[in-house]
Structure 1
Amino acid sequence: MFVAGCANFPLGAASDSGRTTEPAAVAEGPAAPEMFRLANGMDVVVISDHRAPVVTHMVWYRIGAADETPGKTGLAHFLEHLMFKGTDKIAPGQFSKTVARNGGQDNAFTSADFTAYYQAIAKDRLPLVMEMEADRMTHLKLTDKDVLPERDVVIEELRMRIENEPTAQLQSAMNAALYGNSPYGRDIIGVKSEVEALGTQDALDFYARYYTPNNAILIVAGDITSAELKPLAEKYYGTIAPRAPTLVRKRPPVTWPSEPKRVTLHDERVREATWIRSYPAPSSAAAGTRDSAALDVLAQILGGGSTSALYRSLVVRDKVATAVQSWYRGDLLGAGSFSIYALPRVGGSIATTEKAIDAELARFLAAEIDTDELERAKTQLIASATYARDTQQTMAYAYGSGLTTGLTARDVYLWPDYVRAVTAADVLAAARKVLDARHAVTGELLPKVKP
């Protein structure tokens, strides 16, 4: 389940057959979003927040790196870059400059399951950004002159973010080992040799197939109501005819490791060791609200800060580590993971740190969860979610990522209630299902061994 306020952790119409074309609050309360669907199939989510005359406008496409055709990896992220290259109305590079001249900010991002574009701007400028975003949904112009230099930019980004970052290389290798042949086992930015071969027609074909309103979600958070947004959405987006069928994702299930795996990397840029272990886990959507919330609480109890069980034992008591953290990643459509990270103390042994973690996990699984510990973890998570609702972008992201990865709007809105309902038995059951080292991938990042 999405942990509001945490960028790396991750609402609804239910299934397509259950959607309505009229606005309907999905839950009681002033912050409950409203949803409706345009005649062309584009879903719309409205998150009202009237404290300031500003809005965050987002368009999410149900297409990500995991949906790419084998041999054409990197296209989802590449097209994200190319969407800023212009149309007949907007010259290349002018989209962001126009937003900035009007006092706003904009950006875009790609994940395994979605690609999204957003602008944060004054409410009276909302029609402007809606018109521009709708324009590039249908009239993007691409030529070799624009595409090929941008491909070089993406390749340089790949070098900087993956090839020149030892931790990213370790994570990449661990993902490949954990997810195997699943698309989740490769980097979102793509395989370098395949990115180098991408061309203008590849981008245009991808754009024509997936950038269609019936494959998109409009989310607007801020000083606006559903009644105010609906005529704007119909004016700017509702007139766009679908140009391709709605994407129906049919992915094979992930085949988890049948035995424990270990990935060890040595790098001359590394000064101190890093230890990471990732366990197979269900996605939030697959786990369901009860088990997903229990996994979030488990991560908070084990490694959610300086009061967590692993921190108290490894850092404070035994002093074998300088940092330790755990997290549940459920924000993928087809699979998830549960991970633990530790930095051995300076001059210490990574083997000693791993042994201490295994001992603490064994103790945790064999004991009863302390009531105060459980309540403290739940309070911390709920407080984080409450604070996150003060930020338009965070809430809009929560709903967008949830809707594109199998959750409903109700799931996200009621997440604090699901956390409140978690029991000690729920947490232990989740821990015993997930913390199985027989199928885990353990990673070690170590200084380069001198000859």
Structure 2
Amino acid sequence: MLQRTLIGLAALVALPAGAAPVHEFTLDNGLKLLVREDHRAPVVVSQVWYKVGSSYEHNGITGISHVLEHMMFKGTEKHAPGEFSRIIAANGGRENAFTGRDYTAYFQQLEESRLEVSFRLEADRMRNLLLPKDELAKEVQVVMEERRLRTEDDPQSITYERFNAAAFVTSPYRNPVIGWMQDLEQLRLEDLQHWYRRWYAPNNATVVVVGNVDPDEVLALARKHFGPLSAEAVQPPRRVVEVPQRGVRRIVVQAQARLPYLVMGYKAPVLTTAEREWEPYALEVLAGILDGGDSARLPSEVVRAGVAARAGAGYDANARLETLFLLDATPANGQGLDAVEQALNQQIRRLKQEPVGEQELARVKAQVVADDVYQRDSVFYQAMQIGMLETVGLGWQRGEEYVERIRAVTAEQVQEVAKKYLQEDRLTVAVLDPQPMGAGETPEAGGKGAHRVH
């Protein structure tokens, strides 16, 4: 679940020159436009990012941001339900959308001359969505089925969901992006209409364009289509501070499954909350030491030793609120969860007690940098990075600093963040306790069996 993708060190031999600059514009109605030229192919990626996601929601309406994402394809006065997608396809493009904890975004990839098609459609649905009641009823059923398939019928996913709910007490990160089933069942049209009017406005949106374009021409198109839209009195959500933890939290999730599973998480700062700017970058490197390719410590010392069939680590510094430094594993044949947890704890102790060696640190940093450089080769990823950083409140400029910041991390800093943040008072542990499955049954987990919290 937490595996990362890295490329070989050979990629560093010919790193591309720095990416083209980002051109930043703000329209009179508050809409932000970010444009980067990339002339390698006659294509353009256009993305519209809204500052709203599951972390903006409160109990009773969880999942509403994701449902609204679905409803954005259900028509305006100018465009019938489904017509948006048909127009994009007729112009040879592809499109989709995604909801996260801190954002909702919509994208199209088109031939360069078709950018105006995207702008015209996105501007229309930014303020003119109809939200028909019959379409909402159908789409809520679609989302509920999506939840059943991806979470409730997947024992590891249900374990991870309950793990987050235990790790966070006051933070909205305790809620799943897709929402809790009981909230989806009770979602009202009035709630959705209010959510749309509250957050879908030009002064709460960032439009990102990357591709074979001229920034001034993109600005002219943005003024033409987005410029006439009215702003909204958007009130940013309060930044919720998670209550201090006192001791390890443990949960056991009982569900029909074939294999046990373990996930551990330590509360950790992110770039928006860290006391010192270098700490999140040191945590990124620490994650790479544990799980940065086949030579990293978890695959080489835990998996190859026959303790775990798979083990991973992960950390994301680009969040709006405090997050978790994660480890997860599945035991190897003949091994139990206790042995796996002991092996992971041994790796954590080692990081605290011994500074990482110079050669290992250099290798891990090179791999982390190579991964970032590899992803930047994609115009879609470039737009993703720009939009995400801007929307969570970091500013797109952070992406330009990433490689330099990672290369500056020292062994002492890695050891310091391990000692400071990988502590029991920050730790939550969840284990999946597999329950027998009947003949022909799949490993369902949704609501079947107890959920014990210790």
| Alignment TM-score, normalising by the size of structure 1 | 0.90
Asked if the contact 1:5–1:384 (Cα under 8 Å) also holds between the matched residues in 2, the reply is: yes
Q: Which residue of 241, 253, 257 corresponds with 1:265?
A: 253
Q: What SS class does the counterpart of residue 286 from structure 2 fall into? A: helix
Q: Residue 439 of structure 1: CA displacement?
A: 2.4
Q: Which residue of 287, 298, 301 corresponds with 1:310?
A: 298
- Post-superposition Cα deviations, 1:273-301, rounded to whole Å, max 9, x if no partner, equal 22110100012222254111111111001
- 1:158 aligns to 2:147 (yes or no): yes
AA at the equivalent of 2:332: R
2:447 corresponds in structure 1 to none
AA at the equivalent of 2:26: R
Asked if the contact 1:285–1:407 (Cα under 8 Å) also holds between the matched residues in 2, the reply is: yes
* Structure 2, unpaired ranges of 5+: 7-16, 439-454
* Paired residues for 1:12-411 under 5 Å: 29-242=18-231, 244-268=232-256, 270-287=257-274, 289-316=277-304, 318-411=305-398
- Post-superposition Cα deviations, 1:161-204, rounded to whole Å, max 9, x if no partner, equal 22111111111111011111321101111121221111222211
Q: Residue 367 of structure 1: CA displacement?
A: 1.0
Q: What SS class does the counterpart of residue 142 from structure 2 fall into? A: helix
Asked if the contact 1:47–1:220 (Cα under 8 Å) also holds between the matched residues in 2, the reply is: yes
Q: Which deviates more, 101-110 or 187-196?
A: 187-196
AA at the equivalent of 1:150: E
AA at the equivalent of 1:352: A
Q: What SS class does the counterpart of residue 92 from structure 2 fall into? A: coil
- Post-superposition Cα deviations, 1:421-444, rounded to whole Å, max 9, x if no partner, equal 111111111111221123211111
Write the distance in 1 (CA, Å) between the matches of 2:293 and 2:78. Answer: 50
* Structure 1, unpaired ranges of 5+: 7-27
AA at the equivalent of 1:368: P
Write the distance in 1 (CA, Å) between the matches of 2:47 and 2:23. Answer: 15
Write the distance in 1 (CA, Å) between the matches of 2:98 and 2:235. Answer: 19
**Count of residues paired in the alignment:** 425
Asked if the contact 1:266–1:449 (Cα under 8 Å) also holds between the matched residues in 2, the reply is: no
Q: What SS class does the counterpart of residue 266 from structure 1 fall into? A: strand
Write the distance in 2 (CA, Å) between the matches of 1:64 and 1:227. Answer: 31
Write the distance in 2 (CA, Å) between the matches of 1:450 and 1:86. Answer: 44
Asked if the contact 1:177–1:257 (Cα under 8 Å) also holds between the matched residues in 2, the reply is: no
1:433 corresponds in structure 2 to 420
AA at the equivalent of 1:391: S
Write the distance in 2 (CA, Å) between the matches of 1:315 and 1:142. Answer: 50
Write the distance in 2 (CA, Å) between the matches of 1:33 and 1:251. Answer: 28
Write the distance in 1 (CA, Å) between the matches of 2:65 and 2:378. Answer: 27
- RMSD between aligned residues: 2.0
- Post-superposition Cα deviations, 1:289-324, rounded to whole Å, max 9, x if no partner, equal 4111111111001122211122222122x3211221
AA at the equivalent of 1:312: S
Q: What SS class does the counterpart of residue 238 from structure 1 fall into? A: coil
Write the distance in 2 (CA, Å) between the matches of 1:207 and 1:450. Answer: 43
**Which 4+ residue blocks in structure 1 deviate beyond 6 angstroms?**
3-6
AA at the equivalent of 1:249: P
